[in-house]
Structure 1
Amino acid sequence: MELFAIIVMKAEEPYVRSLSAQIESELKLLHIVESGLFVHYALFETHASLHIEALIEEKNVPAIRKEVSQCLADALAEHIMVDKEYAILRNLIMKEFKYEGKEDVEAIESYCKQSLHTETVMEEASLLNSGISGRLRRKQVLSDQLVLALEETSRLSLDGFLKFRLQDYTDELREIAEYAIDEFMMDRQYQEFISLLQYFVYIQEAKIPVAHLIHKGGHEFVILNDRLELIDANEFDASFKLEVLEKDINFEDMIVSTLITVSPANIYIHTRDPEMTIIKTIRQIFEDRTTVCSYCRTCDIYLGEAKHQDQLSP
């Protein structure tokens, strides 16, 4: 007796075979050996149909259908999240948020993938606590909607379900897309800002030969000249353009502001934490003017003796 049929439009055989295997794997968890439960599929020119059947007495059909529908819903929910979620997100990005450029769409998608990866990590961590990740919540939403759909009909169009029955699920994906777009815009503004600062540094003539940027840890920095004396930025004439730049961009990082004001030909960055964001930003702005050092005499004096000898990294 056929319990359910899943209709998939315009599907290639490898896709249908994979989906059939996913469903069969999930159904095996029911251990209904006596029912003779099995899955097979048929391909047609316009669609494919997957059939879930069971050799079972009619009186046992209601109980078995309920078990099978829940198991089938879980399998299809996982399938949608693994094989369809990125396509749904891409459609939201392009159709709803009106991003059409290939590079922009791919960049936003990469932020979406980061969010989804974080959710997967959280899901794995939930084995150690009672937290429920967004991924688990979305899967539950999908599974619940699929169960309702399978209660209404034994022949389910997967494409129709994806198009018309996924409002709550799509709303959650829309939030992920919105977050990704915010991150994308912030990153774009940051890169434009960095490019502006790079240009400003490029057109300035060097005012001093060397500056030593001492990173004492955390957000504590000291800037010294080539004689290892404290630099007073007030002794230098700040460019009008820099003042305008700071006002417009609301640039609050006084370290970068001071370095741009004193305009060293070379900057030696003495730090035990070269991967710190502000260090990376300074290197990005001043480019080949910078050298990061974590082991030298100056480092020893101001930062203490290093545990391991590191090399100068240009």
Structure 2
Amino acid sequence: MIEIIFQNKKDAKRLYQYLQQKLQTFHFRKNDILLLEDQHIVKVSYNIELNDLVKRAFSHFIMEIKQVEWLQIILKEQFFYEDEDEQQQIIDIVQAILDGNRIDLHSFIEDDDQVHRLEETIDQMFQENVSFSFDSFVRFRMRPFIDSLGKYVELAIDEYKMEQEYQMFIQMLREFLNGRKAKISQLHLMMDDEVTFYDAQFYEIKRAELVRMVDRKLISNHPVYIDSVTIAPLLSISPETIYLYTDDCEQPLIRTICNIFEERMIIKPLTSFYDMKRKISMTAEEKM
């Protein structure tokens, strides 16, 4: 029998409900998992198959429920974030890093094997006929894990602030764009090894001409950096429709352009650009 003793009735009940939820698809007897509410104890019958499932569920309980609480405490007590919406956005970033979904941030964490060490710690605790205090387990066995969450929170806060600044930057440029009249109805933008502008007839707009088109007020009136090669000309021209040709929509510059121009954007693969150029060229030759 595995017996987990809690000081907090809420934690005992949540673990019990979580175990029931995770194990409901497996055919175990009803009394294989028990909750002694008056004593705040969760009891699980011991067998190898059930034990493995309980260990996985216990690990997820910590990572999905308790970890959020610990992160909230760190945000409040160490970094003074009281707003729940801000807390959740930062916690989402932390969890994305821990899940390996933010490769761009993962390199900033020297020791990134948190989940594996947590599983090893839980494996050591779950032995046959074991009884242990959950709160003591957290206080002594989980302390290195909880302490290390601080560095994840610090990194996530930096990323959150950068994202907030980025959103303010995008909003500022949208407002500038909304107050401008379109100079041309259609513009084609090819983004391969470099960025090349084309007009509606697929004639290249040379760099010198683009420089002349740039609204100097855009540069002088906005203290933040605005890319003078791509974004400044696009904002100055303010096309009604932008056809952007690329095979990599995840490039930061492309995401920024799409965020600024929103519904004006039409994304196409590079092959579409070459197909259109070829058709226009053939049409021109036929007319000759």
TM-score, with structure 1 as normaliser: 0.62
Larger radius of gyration: 1
Q: Assess if the C-alpha contact under 8 Å between 2:15 and 2:61 holds in 1.
A: no
Amino acid at match of 1:223: F
Cα separation, partners in 2 of 1:41 and 1:211, compared to 1, 3 Å:
closer
Secondary structure of the 2:205 match is coil
For structure 2, which runs of at least 5 residues remain unmatched after alignment?
23-31, 47-51, 104-111, 280-288
1:221 and 2:195 matched: yes
2:36 to 35, 42, 49: 42
Matched with 2:92 is 110
1:84 and 2:83 matched: no
Matched with 1:177 is 153
Question: 1: CA distance between counterparts of 2:43 and 2:239?
Answer: 73
For structure 1, which runs of at least 5 residues remain unmatched after alignment?
23-37, 55-70, 122-131, 306-314
Amino acid at match of 2:66: K
Amino acid at match of 1:16: Y
Cα separation, partners in 2 of 1:91 and 1:236, compared to 1, 3 Å:
same
Displacement, 1:195? 0.5
Taking the TM superposition and a 5 Å limit, the aligned residue runs for 1:280-295 are 280-294=255-269
Cα separation, partners in 2 of 1:21 and 1:157, compared to 1, 3 Å:
farther
Displacement, 1:170? 1.0
Cα separation, partners in 2 of 1:276 and 1:7, compared to 1, 3 Å:
closer
Q: Deviations over 1:130-155 (max 9, x none)?
A: xx8431023335666x69xx9xxx86
Matched with 1:138 is 118
Question: 2: CA distance between counterparts of 1:115 and 1:236?
Answer: 42
Question: 1: CA distance between counterparts of 2:20 and 2:240?
Answer: 63
1:279 to 254, 279, 284: 254
Q: Assess if the C-alpha contact under 8 Å between 1:78 and 1:139 holds in 2.
A: no
| Corresponding residue pairs, total | 250
Q: Assess if the C-alpha contact under 8 Å between 2:16 and 2:34 holds in 1.
A: no
Question: 2: CA distance between counterparts of 1:239 and 1:48?
Answer: 69
Displacement, 1:211? 4.8
Question: 1: CA distance between counterparts of 2:5 and 2:235?
Answer: 64
Amino acid at match of 2:73: N
Instruction: Compare 163-172 and 100-109 and name the one that shifted more.
Output: 163-172
Cα separation, partners in 2 of 1:274 and 1:264, compared to 1, 3 Å:
farther
1:193 to 169, 181, 184: 169
Secondary structure of the 1:205 match is coil
TM-score, with structure 2 as normaliser: 0.67
CA RMSD, Structure 1 to Structure 2 (Å): 4.1
Secondary structure of the 2:99 match is helix
Question: 1: CA distance between counterparts of 2:66 and 2:169?
Answer: 36
Secondary structure of the 1:114 match is helix
Cα separation, partners in 2 of 1:189 and 1:94, compared to 1, 3 Å:
same
Secondary structure of the 1:109 match is helix
